[in-house]
Amino acid sequence: WKFQSHLKKTRNRKWSNRLQRLTDKRNARIADYLHKATRRITDICVEQGISKVVVGDITKSLNQINLGKKTNQNFVNLSLGQFIDKLRYKLELHGIMLEVTNESYTSKASFVDGDVLPKKYEPNKTHTFSGKRVKRGLYRSQNGTAVNADANGAYNILKKSNPKFSFSELIKKVGEGILDWLHPYTRLKIG
C-alpha cells in the first residue's frame, strides 16, 4: 500500500508494472502452495485407502462476517474456492469423492456427547448444545472431558455428511487410540 500511495502522489496513477509483477509473484506463490497442499492431502488419501473426503464449506460464511478490518482482509486473501477446486480435481484422478458440507454449528456442538446438528444455519432459532468452547483450541464436553476444538469441529463435519457417524462408532472402528487424537495438546505432523 505504501508503493500505491507513492505512485498516486508522484505519477497520479493507481497501478504500475512493478505492482503487476508483485501481484503476479504473490499469485504464483499462492498457486504453488495450493498445489503442494492438495497434492499432499491426495497422497495421504491414496496411501490410507480413503474413498471419500468431506470438507466444510466456509466460503459462503466468510462473505457475511465482520471480524474487523485486518482480519477480514486476511480471510478475503484465502483462496478457499481455488483450494477446493484443486483438491476435487486431484482426488477425482484417483477415484476419491469430495463432498463439501455446510459447516454451521460444528464448532458449538459436542461430538463426544452426540449433540444433534441442525442441517443449516437458522438465525431465528436458538439451539442448545451440551459442551462449549472454553478457550482457543479447547472444547469441554458435558462430562468435563477436554477435547481439541478443531478435532471436535472436524468430527462434527463428518457427522453432518453421515448422520449415523458417532463417537461410539468411531471407537468401535478405530479403537481407544482415537482418544489421543481428540486430546487438546496432541499435534500431528503431516510433512
Residues present in the chain in total: 191
Please check whether residue 61 is in contact with residue 110, taking contact to mean a CB–CB distance below 8 angstroms.
no
Please check whether residue 101 is in contact with residue 153, taking contact to mean a CB–CB distance below 8 angstroms.
no
Average pLDDT over residues 129-138: 84
pLDDT digit string, tens, across residues 24-64? 998 899 899 999 999 999 999 999 898 999 988 876 655 56
pLDDT digit string, tens, across residues 87-98? 999 999 999 999
* CA nearest neighbour of 76 among 94, 56, 59: 59
- In angstroms, how far is the first alpha carbon of the chain from the final one? 34
The alpha-helical segments, DSSP class H, found in 12-148 are: 17-48, 59-62, 69-76, 80-93
182 exposed, middle or buried (CB, 10 Å; 0-12, 13-18, 19+)?
buried
0.85 exceeded by pTM: no
The alpha-helical segments, DSSP class H, found in 49-177 are: 59-62, 69-76, 80-93, 149-161, 167-174
- What pLDDT score was predicted for residue 188? 47
